[in-house]
């Protein structure tokens, strides 16, 4: 099993003394990767001291900073977060696969074949968890759980766009990626840097992933 590792440089906002990765991971915007994480003090890229975070499952998986055997990718800037706040390390001879990165619970959806030659399960918005709510007229109905409202509503907007699309329709690829990547993270342990390094997407894969989320049927090539 091959997973990536994350190196978080030590500074005033990401203390590492207790080796508990939860606080540093949240501080650098990786709160969705807290589960199952373990940390160790280590040197890292650019000769920095910091916390090396791994998800060793099974426990005998090799971890550590071995720059000659690994590729280390600096974090890109994001709103509210600076660049190089963490680094992602991937083994050169064993890149992670969907099997390595899948979460214990995966939301149902559709498998999409990506550029790495494997299939990734993309959640379908309409199949996200629902709960029974009492309507104003006294009847019961199922509604999407509140924490999924944003993704569900956004998928409706994209579905409407797809229904109206013709040969002249164009997409803003950045907007499309910004919608699809968080959906992928629901089923897999991923960062934007890992997705980029694995080269998962091209235009066709982005569109197919959008179809999967929105529940739009499309034939396989």
Domain of 155, in residue numbers: 99-214
Those residues with Cβ within 8 angstroms of residue 164's Cβ, 6 or more apart along the chain or in another chain: none
Q: Give pLDDT tens digits for 146-182.
A: 999 999 999 999 999 888 877 777 778 999 999 999 9
The confidence band for 220, taking pLDDT boundaries of 50, 70 and 90, is very low
Tell me, what's the pLDDT at 218? 62
Query: Domain total for the chain?
Result: 2
Tell me, what's the pLDDT at 172? 87
Final residue in a domain of this structure, among 50, 76, 95? 95
Those residues with Cβ within 8 angstroms of residue 165's Cβ, 6 or more apart along the chain or in another chain: none
Residue 15 above 90 pLDDT? Answer: no
Alpha-carbon distance of 126 to 213, in angstroms, equals: 8
Helices (H), the chain: 22-27, 98-101, 149-164, 173-187, 192-198, 203-214
Q: Give pLDDT tens digits for 48-63.
A: 999 999 998 766 678 9
Q: Are residues 103 and 207 in the same domain?
A: yes
Q: Decide if 170 is inside a domain.
A: yes
Confidence (pTM): 0.90
Q: Are residues 145 and 205 in the same domain?
A: yes
Q: Give pLDDT tens digits for 175-216.
A: 999 999 999 999 999 999 999 999 999 999 999 999 999 998
Q: How many CA atoms lie within 13 A of 126 on its CB side?
A: 9
Q: Are residues 82 and 164 in the same domain?
A: no
Tell me, what's the pLDDT at 96? 94
Q: Are residues 41 and 136 in the same domain?
A: no
Pairing of strands 130-134, 119-123: unpaired
């Amino acid at each position: 099993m091959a997973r990536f590792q994350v190196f978080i440089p030590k500074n005033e906002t990401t203390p590492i003394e207790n080796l508990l990765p939860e606080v540093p991971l949240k501080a650098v915007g990786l709160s969705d990767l807290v589960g199952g994480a373990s940390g160790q003090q280590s040197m890292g890229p650019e000769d920095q001291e910091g916390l090396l975070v791994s998800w060793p499952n099974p426990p005998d998986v090799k971890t550590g900073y071995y720059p000659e055997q690994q590729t280390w990718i600096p974090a890109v800037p994001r709103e509210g977060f600076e660049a190089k706040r963490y680094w992602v390390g991937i083994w050169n001879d064993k890149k992670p696969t969907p099997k390595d990165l899948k979460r214990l619970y995966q939301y149902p959806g559709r498998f999409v074949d990506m550029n790495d030659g494997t299939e990734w399960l993309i959640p379908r918005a309409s199949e996200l968890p629902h709960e029974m709510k009492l309507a104003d007229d006294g009847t019961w109905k199922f509604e999407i759980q509140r924490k999924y409202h944003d993704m569900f509503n956004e998928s409706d907007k994209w579905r409407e766009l797809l229904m109206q699309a013709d040969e002249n329709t164009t997409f803003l690829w950045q907007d499309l990626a910004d919608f699809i990547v968080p959906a992928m993270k629901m089923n897999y342990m991923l960062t934007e840097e890992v997705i980029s390094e694995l080269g998962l997407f091209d235009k066709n894969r982005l569109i197919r992933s959008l179809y999967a989320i929105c529940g739009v049927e499309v034939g396989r090539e």
